[in-house]
Amino acid sequence: MGRLPVVRRNLPLMTSMNQQSESNRSRFATGSIDPLSSTPLMDRIAICEPRLALSCSAAADVLIETFASHPFPSVSSSSSDPFADATQIRNQYGFDGSGQSVAVIDTGVAWDHWVFADVKPNGASSGAASSSLGNGNRVVGGWDFAENDSNPYDDGPAGFHGTHVAGTLAGSASGFSGVAPGADIIALRVFDDMGRSSLDWVESALRWVIENRTAFENPITTINLSLGVTVVDTQQPFTQLDDELRQLRDNGVIIVAAAGNSFSHSNPTSITYPASSSLVAAVTSLDTNGNINDFAQRSSGVFGAMGSGIRSSIPDHVLGIDGEVNDFALLSGTSMATPQIAGASMIVRQAMQSLGMSPTPDDILSLLHETALQRTDAATGVSYSVVDLQNAIDTLMADNPEGVAPNRESSSPLQWTGQSSLVVRGTAETDLFIFNLSGSKPSITINSVVHAVDRPLTEITIDGGTGNDTLEIIGSTGNERVVARSATSNLEQAVASLQTPGLTGDFRSFENVIFRGGGGDDRATFYDSPHDDILEANPTQATMRGIGYTFVAIDVNNLYAHATNGGSDTAYLYDGAGNDRLAIRHQFTSLRGDDMFRLAYGFEKVHAFAGAGGVDQAFLYDSPGDDRMSATASSAWISGRDYYAGARGFATIHAEATAGGNDYATLYAVDTTAMWTRSANLLQWNMPGGMIRVAQGFEIADAFIGGEKIDVLPPSVRQLFYRQEREATRDLFANFE
């Protein structure tokens, strides 16, 4: 029976590194952008990362000697450099991995590092990384499976590996760029502070990706596993992760894993798991001549990328904390080669989608193999593919039926990120997007240019970008749900979403959203800003607007408007041609009619109008405080602290005070034919034509006719008076007799 696999991760420094003089260490705590560039060659830390079964067997001092003779490794003509290729491809075609997210399953990511600042066009950094993760940041989310919390920061004493990998994948800063700097990053931490892990944590991370693959603005298309395990003394294949790997592969996700750093002549073609799985793209490490490094594990068909002295980001604590998260270091190993292939696959995916293709993982990996330099390992005779990203993209674009390679300006704004997942991006100017679902197939119009969607669509993301952008959604005859939220601070963007059977939409950075219903049971939900907002809603159109935004629903029968983010908000509601029913409560108003429902929640002032026809009813309710209510033949209102509700033109108005406070009501009539009724807690008048005014539950309720106050006696008092009058009259005539 074989030994159980043990998941190990790298130590921060090899033993010989720990024996460096304190003076040498201090050079790395200066806070400079690149501490490696200002220190003598022999003082540069070049870490050979002993990670899991990826531990390199070369001694650290050998690596330092190697880097001393090649301080900044250059790639010979016999090899290919994905970093340089990616830069050329960005300049030539504009492909940078945008529209995708990559999951880094590792030690976590120091998301506040300089290279993870927001990325601008052409890969330029905005200059300062966010101090948090989530929407709007480069590291958009993640989870810590070692500590079971939502903080996957790479801060363990044995950390830094995941930050280095993430920088290679998608980092971007002045003088530094990862392979796919336009991609978003998901940090999944599966190592504890001491560098210990288990395949159970890795399996949980893979399941997390399955559950959250489409939960972000840009879907997860790629997973980087710069880790692995070796099963010793057993002939049984290891398969614990295969179920998750298979499901991810079926969902279009590419999984890339490191082959390992423990090459052994006794078992020369053995690589670690999960790189050994047929569901994973395995990657080995190459030297500057394109040969497999002595320490790197290998097998037939693996990808190869340079893994010697790869310079990338590391957390602040590794070289000495100085408060500036801007440190870099040279690391070597198959872990450093793996993110280069993961990033290359994202570039290829984006290029294929720009040509209208829906690439599968097999399509992408096959192109990388077919366009690679095919080499044979002298030590074992196995063949391997030295990835040539430039050749892959050039070959792909040469096969474009139009014969024209799209560039950043002319490439399609529609990018397919899966079999049925579409990402659409706007420009830096003011854009108008029209997403039309009314035809047999959806279409997207961008600034008057119509783009047909010629394949099944289940997920769409549209990003308006900067500028004052407008999104118009034209619904189908089915049931659509549209939600639009204004920005609640200067650091946020307005967002909207769409839900309809078989299709979900995510829309960002649109200041103006218009939803045109198509005839189904449609619903629009609007959320206000922190400022003063106004809602106007009639049976055919509803508009909610405030500072920096306007939301419109046209021919949408159900409207839910929320005004809870602050400000003094006002709603104007108008009836339909049929019989409508209005109910106004403190912070809650609803208006119902034929095929119409309007809900206004949280508005301080509500004005309702009934003039379109029908016999309409209004019900007004008090607030918990002291309220004042008044009703005439034409209108009624009720008000209290931070609360006002008015109803005009309704045939029946029923005001009720049951929420508390000391409430006062007045009913005014001009016509002397009004029929008045009073009971213990009710005052009411009725007109022959059916008009009714009621005040119920008020501590004080007064009646007026023609501006003069009148006394309305309860029926019991009137009956007692009439009985006493009849008895007195009878006694009077009896005395005459």
pLDDT digit string, tens, across residues 63-100 = 322 333 333 333 333 356 889 999 999 988 899 999 99
pLDDT digit string, tens, across residues 168-203 = 999 998 889 999 999 999 999 999 988 888 999 999
Sheet-wide strand order for 327-332: 46-48, 327-332, 310-314
Residue 17 has pLDDT above 50, yes or no: no
Rounded mean pLDDT of 686-709? 91
Distance CA 452, CA 490 (A): 35
Find how far residue 596's CA is from the centre of its chain: 32
**What does the buried/exposed string (b/e) look like for 677-714 if buried means 16 or more CB atoms within 10 Å of the residue's CB?**
ebeeebbbbbeeeebbbbbbbbeebbbebeeeeeebee
Distance CA 419, CA 362 (A): 13
Q: Per mean pLDDT, which range of 64-73, 478-487, 618-627 is the poorest?
A: 64-73
Summary count for the chain: helices (H), strands (E): 11, 46
On whether the CB atoms of residues 545 and 551 are closer than 8 A, the answer is yes
Distance CA 228, CA 49 (A): 13
Distance CA 122, CA 128 (A): 17
On whether the CB atoms of residues 574 and 537 are closer than 8 A, the answer is yes
Q: Write down the H helix ranges in 100-160.
A: none
The string of DSSP codes covering 50-66 is --GGG---S-HHHHHHH
Residue 670 has pLDDT above 70, yes or no: yes
Identify any residues that bridge with 647 across adjacent strands, giving them in sequence order.
Answer: 608, 636
Residue 713 has pLDDT above 90, yes or no: no
Q: Are strands 596-601 and 588-593 parallel, antiparallel or unpaired?
A: antiparallel
CA distances from 617 to 471, 622, 652 (A): 37, 17, 5
Rounded mean pLDDT of 2-18? 31
Residue 365 has pLDDT above 50, yes or no: yes
The string of DSSP codes covering 502-538 is TEEEEEES-SEEEEE--SSS-EEEEE--SS--EEEE-
| pLDDT bracket for residue 118 (50, 70, 90) | low
Distance CA 32, CA 27 (A): 10
- In this prediction, residue 453 carries a pLDDT of 87
Find how far residue 87's CA is from the centre of its chain: 28
| Identity of the amino acid at 347 | I
Find how far residue 343's CA is from the centre of its chain: 21
pTM of the model: 0.52
On whether the CB atoms of residues 319 and 325 are closer than 8 A, the answer is no
On whether the CB atoms of residues 134 and 140 are closer than 8 A, the answer is yes
Tokens read off for 336:
């450093």
Residue 294 has pLDDT above 70, yes or no: yes
* Residue with tokens 């990053």, as numbered in its chain: 185
- In this prediction, residue 12 carries a pLDDT of 27
The string of DSSP codes covering 638-698 is EEETTEEEEEES-SEEEEE--SSS--EEEEEE--TTPEEEE-SSEEEEE-TTS-EEEEES-
Tokens read off for 334:
């198959």
Distance CA 269, CA 266 (A): 9
pLDDT digit string, tens, across residues 633-664 = 999 999 998 899 999 999 999 999 999 999 99
| pLDDT bracket for residue 126 (50, 70, 90) | very low
* Residue with tokens 């010629």, as numbered in its chain: 454
Residue 24 has pLDDT above 60, yes or no: no
- In this prediction, residue 189 carries a pLDDT of 97
On whether the CB atoms of residues 123 and 206 are closer than 8 A, the answer is no
Q: Is the torsion defined by CA of 25, 30, 36, 38 positive or negative?
A: negative
The angle at the Cα of 206, spanning 201 to 207, to the nearest 5 degrees, equals 95
- In this prediction, residue 461 carries a pLDDT of 92
Closest-CA residue to 515 (of 539, 536, 542): 542
Q: Per mean pLDDT, which range of 57-71, 385-399, 616-630 is the poorest?
A: 57-71
pLDDT digit string, tens, across residues 307-326 = 989 999 999 988 878 888 88
Distance CA 635, CA 632 (A): 5
Strand, helix or coil for residue 156: coil
Residues near 406 by beta carbon (within 8 Å), at least 6 away in sequence: 93, 94, 354, 355, 397, 400, 412
Residue 402 has pLDDT above 50, yes or no: no
On whether the CB atoms of residues 538 and 572 are closer than 8 A, the answer is no
- In this prediction, residue 492 carries a pLDDT of 63
Q: Per mean pLDDT, which range of 134-138, 398-402, 500-504 is the poorest?
A: 398-402
| pLDDT bracket for residue 18 (50, 70, 90) | very low
- In this prediction, residue 319 carries a pLDDT of 84
Residue 235 has pLDDT above 90, yes or no: no
Rounded mean pLDDT of 140-155? 94
**Domains present along the chain, CATH in parentheses:** 15-395 (3.40.50.200), 420-567 (no CATH)
- In this prediction, residue 620 carries a pLDDT of 96
* Residue with tokens 């003088």, as numbered in its chain: 175
Q: Per mean pLDDT, which range of 520-524, 648-652, 727-731 is the poorest?
A: 727-731
Residue 43 has pLDDT above 70, yes or no: no
- In this prediction, residue 728 carries a pLDDT of 64
Q: Per mean pLDDT, which range of 58-67, 475-484, 523-532 is the poorest?
A: 58-67
Rounded mean pLDDT of 213-231? 91
Residues near 143 by beta carbon (within 8 Å), at least 6 away in sequence: 149, 150, 152, 188, 189, 205, 208
Rounded mean pLDDT of 433-456? 89
| pLDDT bracket for residue 282 (50, 70, 90) | very high
* Residue with tokens 């190993």, as numbered in its chain: 333
Please report, in angstroms and rounded to a whole number, the separation of the first and last CA atoms in the chain.
Answer: 129
| pLDDT bracket for residue 406 (50, 70, 90) | very low
Residue 388 has pLDDT above 60, yes or no: yes
CA distances from 637 to 264, 537, 671 (A): 87, 19, 20
- In this prediction, residue 60 carries a pLDDT of 26
- In this prediction, residue 495 carries a pLDDT of 85
CA distances from 240 to 335, 456, 539 (A): 21, 34, 58
| Identity of the amino acid at 233 | D
Residues near 624 by beta carbon (within 8 Å), at least 6 away in sequence: 586, 659, 660, 661
* Residue with tokens 């909207």, as numbered in its chain: 496
On whether the CB atoms of residues 694 and 684 are closer than 8 A, the answer is yes
* Residue with tokens 């949980």, as numbered in its chain: 204
Closest-CA residue to 643 (of 560, 586, 725): 586
| pLDDT bracket for residue 129 (50, 70, 90) | low
The string of DSSP codes covering 274-286 is TTTSTTSEEEEEE
Give me the percent of the chain exceeding a pLDDT of 70: 80
Classify residue 399 by its DSSP letter.
T
Rounded mean pLDDT of 243-269? 93
Chain length of the chain: 737
Residues near 403 by beta carbon (within 8 Å), at least 6 away in sequence: none
- In this prediction, residue 253 carries a pLDDT of 96
Residue 609 has pLDDT above 80, yes or no: yes
Q: Which residue has the higher pLDDT, 53 or 652?
A: 652
